[in-house]
Structure formats: C-alpha cells, structure tokens
Homo-oligomer: A and B are copies of this chain.
Amino acid sequence: MTSEFKYYFEDFEPGHMVEVQGPTVTREEIVEFASKYDPQPFHVDEAKARESIYHGIIASGWHTVALCMRMTCDAYLLDAASIGSSGVDQVRWLKPVRPGDRLALRMTVLEKKASQSRPEMGVVRHRWDVFNQNQELVMEMTGVGLYRRRNPGAPAAE
C-alpha cells in the first residue's frame, strides 16, 4: 500500500515544531480583507486609524489568523491527511499587525490522541506562536487538527 500523503496522525509527535516564514503584509491586503469581513475604521480608514489608539491602520485579527492558516497549509498541511478541525481555543491578539510587517509562525505539537470511536482518525492539539520581524509575539493560539491515521485502529499510543 502506498501512502497518499506525506504526513499522517502518526507523524505529529508532542514537542514537534514547524517554523514558517510568511509574506510581508501589505496595506492593500489589510484593507481588502477588512473591507469584506471586518470594516472597522482602524482596519480600513487611514485617517480614522491615525486618530485611534492604534495610530495607524492595523490588520483585522481574523486576517492575521487567515494568513497563518495559509502559512501552515504551505508548510505541511496540504501534504498531510488533514480532515479539518473541530475548533480552537485561546486566540490572543497581543500586538497589532501593521502594513509592512512580516510574520513568522512557530507551530508546536502539544498532545495527540487517537479517536476511540473513529479508529481511522486522531486528534492533534497544537499551539501557534506568531512573531513579527522584530521578534515580537503578535498572536498565540491553541487549536486542534484532525488527521487520518496511517494505521487505523492500531493501539492508541503510537
């Protein structure tokens, strides 16, 4: 049997880290995302943003999350037997993301658990630490990913 994917549930071990460099975030992108999904003045209106507590346009927190999601897709998720996610916990937006910032994401596997009820899958809990180009932590998040198992039904502790 050949493996369809590079990474399965078995390949995510607690402590495993993946570091990904993201693209530079542009003003146009920040305004475009926010105009569609989060058109608060400090995300879309330069003049009002300057008068706000942020002193300039900042990215919607959801835009930062979306950019990080894409970074994980490019780094490993599209090569993995991912079957989605049931949710995330503790998204923390710690510092504004501004035009010209370059994001870097560190994904750390926290724990994993084979499903008892669905032997073909397992749950991997991970943390994202997201930094800007000044090594300032701008966001953290913990969440879970669901993955198919290379060996469905094998003993839960791999």
Instruction: Show the binding face of A for B, using Cβ within 8 Å.
Output: 36-40, 42, 52-54, 58, 60-62, 65-67, 69-70, 73, 77-78, 82-94
Contact = CB atoms under 8 A, between A and B. Distances in A.
Nearest to A146: B53
Do most interface residues of chain A lie in helix, strand or loop, or is the interface mixed? mixed
Given A40-B82, A60-B69, 18 more contacts: A36-B66, A36-B70, A37-B66, A37-B67, A38-B66, A38-B69, A38-B73, A40-B84, A42-B83, A54-B84, A61-B85, A61-B87, A65-B65, A84-B93, A87-B91, A87-B92, A87-B93, A89-B91
B73 A40 contact: yes
Contacts of A88: 91
Copies in the complex: 2
Contacts of A78: 39-40
Contacts of A83: 42, 52-53
A93 B86 contact: yes
A2 B73 CA distance: 49
Contact of A62 (B40, B62, B77, B90): B62
Given A39-B78, A73-B38, A90-B87, A62 B52 contact: no
